[in-house]
Structure 1
Amino acid sequence: MKNDNQIFGIRAIIEGIHSGALIDKVFIQKEAQGDLMKDLMKAIKANNVNFSYVPVEKLNRFTSLNHQGAVATISPIAFHDLDTLIEQTLESGKTPLFLVLDQLSDARNFGAIIRTAECVGVNGIIVQKQGSAPVNGDTVKTSAGAVFNIPICKVDHIKDAVFHLQSCDIKTVAATEKTEHTIYDIDFKVPVAIIMGNEERGVNPSVLKVVDEKAKLPMYGTIESLNVSVACGAFLYEVVRQRLL
């Protein structure tokens, strides 16, 4: 059984994967077993489909029908190829501005970031296939439809995307508290990709080791951190400010 953006049931999801449906993420019941579930996992891994294990209660919130321990969400958008997008951006003559989201997990934060990114003219958003927030109804709604106007690329590993951006002379700047530099110390007038981290742990330490620069927002209150979508907005508008000068 399925609705507009979900597929319920193991066989239906397997068929969806094999038929090339734009499956964004598969939610699988924790400790689910059986030969059919093994077949599903083979299809997921063979096609590098994003998945996560969840309690049965979450699956029951998706549907009251017999989901058999698995629900898949279908992406409302087609994802872009990173190589092609970078090439097109460089050929456009505009100063590139990319946004890399290192396993951001909340769909509403994702949508809010997409909305801001579209408003400031970000050329593309890069996310990791595994462990990232899905592009679902919450994402679309929170983005106010901006998700349909900005290219989004999925990559196997964020670190590989960083290396690729650097090879194209695009500076990579990670948002992190683990630095003495603020965003006002960074030159954003050059081609740049800003990397925002997961809501809980921030940018992965292995990614921090390979970026060109690190920057933080100055904080003067008692709260130690901002919501990631708010912090992202501050970074992006510093880029806008510098490029308007």
Structure 2
Amino acid sequence: MKTYKTAEVASIIGIHPNTVRLYEELHLIPRPKRQPNGYRIFTDFHIEQLRLARIAFQIEVLQNGLRRKIIQMIKVSADRDFDTALALSHEYILQVRQERANAEEAIEIVKRLLSGGNEAGSRCLKRKEVSEYLHVSMDTLRNWEMNGLLTVKRRQNGYRVYTDQDISRLKIIRSLRCANYSLEAIRNMLQQVCANPDIDIKEALDTPKEDADIITVCDKLITSLAAAEENACQIVGMLHDMKDRFS
């Protein structure tokens, strides 16, 4: 059986030796045996397990327990419980597909809301009334305003007044947030809609600004979910191979 030192493993995978040790501490790979001098002894199984983990973490989707599920899959694979790892991978794929369907559905809701124009009437609601009407907490409404998703007018006494146009915009924000779109992606899309009502909503939501300092998974949600599903399907194939080789 071929064995490897920590530096050799790191070179093969393309990571820092400290990352190898970190994966060991987190139980993402089996604890390696040690030589009398204390040096770790890694095997081909460690190599494949590290490759599996790297692919799993390439696209980290955080919402609704998906990250916990993929971490659990890696850990049971490290214990050579490949059947459980495969079952978790299939569950992960199904959930990612559902998240993607939710994201697509939210886009259709936004399209309908935008095509319908502003709601009829001339309501002027206070924040508490809007919170109860939309079933959204007042803290959430404050957060959306603080992050620039909408600007609410104030009366002379300083109280915010939400109009029908504001409520339509809030329904759009609520639908997209429920589907786990980031605040940055929503703000970017709303700004583009104001400039051009005929934009492709899906593309606008999935295209971060070029000057963004940090681009998260939720800033490219549909693309990220598609990539996560593709990686998970690759993981299933790897697990079958590992089961054949290392069981």
TM-score by length of 1: 0.25
Find the structure with the greater CA-based Rg: 2
TM superposition score normalised by structure 2 = 0.24
